[in-house]
Amino acid sequence: MNASCHVRLKGRVDDIHQRWTPDGSLAVVASLVIHRPHLGPVRAKVMDEQPMPLRALGSMAEKLVAYQGKVVEVEGTLRRRYYSRDGEQRWGQVEIWVDVCHPEN
């Protein structure tokens, strides 16, 4: 079964890292800083923002670069990426692979 999860979020584009793929296309790793609601008095002093990892290729990567620091709406697919370092165990991170990005209305 090939199930995917689509998301739509609004936040500020931040922490952009540009890379070039072997075919010469632009690839971007960035963060979408979203508002995180308080969950009662225990969390009242916790940060109000949560960075969500974004990935994009080609023209969508160019859009993210152009919107750095701006509030946008993104739509994309959740994917889990796995990492390993020096043969140590792998760990994963859920990222949003951006399909649509436009300024906040």
Q: What is the pLDDT of residues 24-83, one digit of tens each?
A: 889 999 999 998 776 666 666 666 888 999 999 999 999 999 999 999 999 999 988 777
pTM: 0.78
Average pLDDT over residues 8-24: 93
Could you tell me the residue range of the domain that residue 61 belongs to?
Answer: 18-77
Is residue 2 in some structural domain? no
Is residue 3 in some structural domain? no
Classify residue 1 by burial, with Cβ atoms within 10 Å: 0-12, 13-18, 19+: exposed
65: part of which helix (H) or strand (E)?
A: helix 58-66
Q: Which amino acid is at 38?
A: H
Average pLDDT over residues 14-20: 93
Is residue 62 in some structural domain? yes
Report the pLDDT value the prediction gives residue 1, as an integer from 0 to 100: 47
Is residue 64 in some structural domain? yes
Q: Which residue has the higher pLDDT, 2 or 9?
A: 9
Is residue 34 in some structural domain? yes
Structural domain count of the chain: 1
Report the pLDDT value the prediction gives residue 24, as an integer from 0 to 100: 87
